A and B are shown apart, each in its own frame.
Chain A
Amino acid sequence: MSVGAILCSLVVVSARNPVVSVLSLLGSFVCLAVIYLLAGFQFMAAAQLLVYAGAIMVLFLFVIMLLNLGNSAEESGPLDRALLRARRMPVVLAIGAAVFLLTLFGIETQQTVMAADPELVERGVSSLSGLAELMFSTYLLPFEAASVLLLAATIAVIVLAKRGRTQLVADTRTEVTP
């Protein structure tokens, strides 16, 4: 499954068609969900599918289709394309290495957390009630902070969208009046 996830992620960055990229990202998410499931985290797996695969990727797909990006690489010649790829390669590698290191770091921390608090494993992060109990007692502050952050992001998006629209209206008015 992890091999599948890695293959899918490789296709995400290498595919020339943006829709194919989105689809392979979806595949990688599904692989991740299965990994969660194999590790015993049923709720995490379902949430992964429900939120990422079911909602967020649909929005991605939606936007890409509406923007009609097309195949950007097809317009240039094969030599240009190869050059472009060669130029992108270090960036991609750097990001990949960073993500890899972060993941290693994450696994390390998780193991230390698990080792430090055997009760955590015992009470069962895998079961839903155990997870909810932890989330609303020990980790209440981070949870609330994350929700406030998300709320702030939502409000910011609304404000930005509104400003864009009022400016548009103002522009059309100035065009009409003279």
Chain B
Amino acid sequence: MSMILIWLLITVACYGAVIGTAALMTFAERKVSAAMQYRYGPNRVGPFGLLQPLADGVKFIFKEEVIPAGANPWIFKLAPILTALPAMLAIAVIPFTGVIGTFEGTEVLGSIANPEIGILYVLAVTGVGVYGAILGGWASNSKYSLLGGLRASAQMVSYELSLILAVLAVVATTGSLNLHEIVAGQSGWFGWNVFSQPLAFVLFLVCSYAETNRHPFDFAECEPELVGGFHTEYSSMKFAMFFIGEYTAMVVMACLTTTLFFGGYLVPFWADAPWWMGLIAFGAKTSFFLLLFIWVRWTLPRFRYDQLMHLGWKVLFPLALINIFVTGLVISFGPGAN
């Protein structure tokens, strides 16, 4: 009975943390962009404007909901759910910290579930996320939305390949798909995968920006060309669902970057750190990548669409293949080979 209670606690804590971070990210996005443009940003609601996400949420709920004429109502309603759901599902396997303790003979880990195929599960459920954009764009019965949806799907499918190949290199060096084992494999001096797989890290970072539809790859939205892209016609809470999905996906991607390349919850130079130190280390590393998301958005201009496809298929994809090949060679014939 109490084991169930512990699981419930961990689940609530993990989901609360990630969704809370996603809500705070909307605030951080505006605050950081304001700082970069020498403005104040939101500063009216609560101390330093910290309660702005809550105010936004309340406002979204009370807005009128419009379903455009000629739209397919069922698919129109389904699309925001399909955007938010995959990111939420992916949270379940992210290792926030190591072993918390032993309870009734079972080790309690710092993640909701710990399947053997952890990273594959994340890739599988986030791969479904593209349906939200493409269906939302199609069901809206508007040309801007349709263009946004088509661009989003083409882009996500193209970059997903390189993303998976980059992850595969990490999996090959670790020899496991389990996220906890991937983290455990990165202990020691310069043990982080970013040192042994720098190319895979760069590929993963670039592709994760494209996968989450962030600048400089935000062609699904692309305000100057497509008004709002695939969610042009959405209003009220459905629009908010798209945003929650997008920001949760960002948090998940930052968590994954930390887990795969930066030692996850491992504390540098402290091998047997307690679990709460691991949690803090994980939070700090993830926060940095979240900040990087915002930083890049307000610094770089957007690509042109053909440049995006060129980069995806003719630069990143071959690089990822070469990376896999070299990794395989080193594993088979390198110094550590048996």
Contacts and interface: CB of A to CB of B under 8 A. Distances in A.
A23 interface: yes
Contacts of B146: 65
A58 B131 contact: yes
User: Which bracket fits the contact residues of A?
Assistant: 20 to 34
Interface string A20-61: 100100100000000000000011001101100111001101
A19 interface: yes
A82 interface: no
A128 B116 contact: yes
Contacts of B177: 128
A19 B146 CA distance: 14
Contacts of B117: 42-43, 46, 128
A61 B153 contact: yes
A47 B164 CA distance: 12
Interface residues of B, number: 28
B116 A55 contact: no
Interface in B77-124: 78, 115-117, 120-121, 123-124
Interface in A2-34: 17, 19-20, 23, 26
Contacts of B135: 19, 23, 61
A103 interface: no
Nearest to A43: B117
A43 B119 CA distance: 11
A53 B127 contact: yes
Given A19-B138, A50-B123, A65-B138, A55 B150 contact: no
A16 to B, nearest CB: 12
B238 to A, nearest CB: 18
Contacts of A23: 75, 78, 135
A54 B128 contact: yes
A62 B153 contact: yes
B234 to A, nearest CB: 18
Contact of A58 (B120, B121, B123, B134): B134
B154 interface: yes
A94 interface: no
A66 interface: yes
A117 to B, nearest CB: 23
B153 A49 contact: no
A109 interface: no
A66 B75 CA distance: 17
A55 B75 contact: no
A58 B150 CA distance: 10
A20 B127 CA distance: 20
B75 to A, nearest CB: 7
A49 B123 CA distance: 9
A84 to B, nearest CB: 23
A127 interface: yes
A53 B160 contact: no
B128 A49 contact: yes
A128 B177 CA distance: 9
A49 B127 contact: yes
B125 interface: yes
Contacts of B241: none
B134 A55 contact: no
A46 B120 contact: yes
Sorted nearest first, the 5 A-B pairs with minimum C-beta distance are: A54-B127, A49-B124, A46-B120, A50-B124, A46-B124
18 contacts: A19-B72, A42-B115, A42-B117, A43-B117, A46-B124, A49-B127, A50-B164, A53-B127, A54-B123, A54-B124, A54-B128, A54-B160, A55-B157, A55-B160, A61-B134, A61-B153, A65-B138, A128-B177
Interface of A: 17, 19-20, 23, 26, 42-43, 46-47, 49-50, 53-55, 58-59, 61-62, 65-66, 127-128
Interface of B: 72, 75, 78, 115-117, 120-121, 123-125, 127-128, 130-131, 134-135, 138, 146, 149-150, 153-154, 156-157, 160, 164, 177
